[in-house]
Amino acid sequence: MNARVLFLLTFLSTTISAQHPVVLMHGIESNAGNMVELADWVSTTFNRQVINVELGDGDSYSTDTPLWEQIDAFKDVVCNNTILRDGFDFIGISQGGLIGRGYVLRYNSPPIINLITLVSPHGGVYDKNLGFIDLYNPIAQSTLSFAGYWRDPTHLVRYQLFSSFLPEANGEKQLKRNKYLQALTNFAMVFSPNDDIIKPQSSGIFDTFNADLTILPLENNPIYTEDWIGLKTLNETGRLHTHQTNCTHVEHRMPVCFSQLYPILFKYL
């Protein structure tokens, strides 16, 4: 074996071993089993060690447990895995992306290096056809995870007062603001105009509904203009990225969407 070949093999071995593991987090009413195809593809395609996280029993736990409690459980999983002690990249789909972002805001030790979210409702969710349901009551907030990111644009005062998760996570409660997201190497968000679950679809990139259900884009929202949680700083330093696919919501964890995800994930993994 000549010196040049030996050098290349050594370089490749060192590069692969230096890469961080990738942690996957499933969404609501789902489980780690539903993420196996995505986990296998990421591992094979990007030559990365993948940790496919399950919290509780998956399906019911992801629905019936408030998000900050799920984030606490995620922290315990991460801290108890020595493979992750030097940091990791994170891919979360739907609600799973909120768990990853919440982990950065509240703990981030060991740190997430690249935070990648797929069709995650960063700007909250709302459906006018369900607006008659009071999801800000204490029972809903303590027993339904999605109640914590239900953002009714016609009742923002009640949302800010009683929502258990999103107002804090998005810096809408002034005393709860922090900019720990600035520690990320990259924050990449993927949304789809064909998302058949999240409303508004561009909530995946922090857009929100106005009271008349028109869209308020992130760049016009105080969360960005006043840099409540560090998104503006990330953007101005080239570390905030938005991407689009044409996949449906759940297709983002299925092979039908992998060809669209590849050029996106390639930038960060």
> For the segment 184-226, what is each residue's pLDDT rounded down to a tens digit?
999 999 999 999 999 999 999 999 999 999 999 999 999 999 9
Show the tokens assigned to 253.
């964890």
pLDDT recorded at residue 188: 99
| 208: CATH | 3.40.50.1820
Identify whether 55 is part of a domain.
yes
How many angstroms separate the Cα of 197 from the Cα of each of 27, 115, 193, 194, 217? 12, 22, 11, 9, 19
Amino acid at 152: D
Q: Which two tokens stand for residue 18?
A: 């230096």
Tokens of 37: 């195809």
Answer for the pair 90, 112: CB distance below 8 angstroms, yes or no: yes
User: What is the pLDDT at residue 241?
Assistant: 99
The answer as to whether 207 is a domain residue is yes
| 159 inside domain | no
Active site residues: 94, 195, 249
- Residues of the chain whose pLDDT is less than 50? 1-17
**14 falls within a domain:** no
Pick from 95, 86, 82, 84: nearest CA to 25: 95
Q: Considering the domain boundaries, does residue 116 fall inside one?
A: yes
The reported pLDDT for the residue numbered 18 is 56
Q: Among all chains, which residue has been given the structure tokens 């092979």?
A: 255
Domain that holds residue 59: 20-132+179-265
Domain count, the chain: 1
pLDDT number for residue 168: 96
According to the model, what pLDDT value does residue 12 have? 37
